Amino acid sequence: MSDEYEIEEDEEEGDSLEWLMTFSDLTMLMLVFFIMLYAMSTPDTSKIESTLQSVTAALGGKESKLATSTISREEAGIILDQVMMQKQILIAQQKVFSDVKYLQTKKGLEGLVGANFEDGVITIRAPGDVLFAKGEVTLTEKGKAVIMEMKDFFTQHPDQTINIRGFTDDQLPGPGSRFRDNWEVSSLRAVNVLRLLMQMGIESKRLTSTGLADLNPLYPNTTEEYRAQNRRVEFVLEKRVSGK
């Protein structure tokens, strides 16, 4: 009877310790999370290392025993490096976006170019009706002048990749049009803008083009004013990382 009791007691004791591994996993994950927050607010490698060493000392050097199935110290370091790099990219892109706002005030571009900034990605918009005649894919003289101004801006920021995106409204090419659909129209418009930028000296490896037809409208295609807003060319800028 006593032997049976001892066996049951051992099993209960073993079960009671199962929570320890889960708790240690959670503790280590929280540690990495707070170090990441610290890195984002103050990207100082020496301070981060000092913080990690202090936590290790507080744990009595037993973090390896508590985290056999969690993130290693090397992995945590990689995560911190990525966080700091992302913050540096965001800061750099914010400065570029400030120059975009200045671009919008230049003579000849007032009211023609819109822009927004989100998650380190800068999007510059130019109205399709300014760049192209309705239903056409060849740049107008006014359109070429707008692209020339933007080329100067792109030249000043060689660290930016440029994805040129063409958009249309939801109306199909009219009867007798030489284009099959809006996919063809938007694609050719984006390609022609890309070719002009290349002719103006922008490196080809910085440029890509995409035709998106009537996808992702800015406004519902319910009025002519809204359709005109949806007919546009976007220049999506992302910072090039060294080695890519």
pLDDT in tens, 7-17: 454 455 445 55
Query: Residue 242 has what pLDDT?
Result: 59
Tell the CATH superfamily of the 104-239 domain.
OmpA-like domain (3.30.1330.60)
Tell me how far apart the alpha carbons of residues 232 and 229 are, in angstroms, rounded to a whole number: 7
Instruction: Report which of 107, 225, 127 is spatially closest to residue 167, judged by C-alpha positions.
Output: 127
pLDDT at 119 (0 to 100): 87
What pLDDT is attached to residue 113? 86
Residue ranges, the chain, pLDDT below 70? 1-29, 31-77, 80-81, 107-108, 242-244
Q: What is the pLDDT of residue 208?
A: 98
The token duo for 36 is 């990441």
pLDDT value at position 129? 95
Q: What is the pLDDT of residue 1?
A: 53
In sign, the C-alpha dihedral spanning 141, 142, 145, 151 is negative
Question: What's the DSSP call for residue 138?
Answer: S
Sequence-separated (6 or more) residues with CB below 8 Å from residue 151? 197, 200, 201, 202
Alpha helices, H only, 157-215: 182-199
User: E-assigned strands of the chain?
Assistant: 114-118, 121-127, 160-167, 207-211, 232-239
Task: Encode pLDDT of 135-146 as tens digits.
Answer: 899 999 999 999
Phi, psi of 223, deg, nearest 5: -135, 165
Give the pLDDT score at 172. 93
Report pLDDT for 193: 98
- Looking at residue 52, what is its pLDDT? 60
Please give the pLDDT value at position 241. Answer: 72
Distance, CA of 1 to CA of 5 (rounded, Å) = 6
Distance between CA atoms of 190 and 126, rounded to whole angstroms? 12
Residue 66 confidence (pLDDT): 44
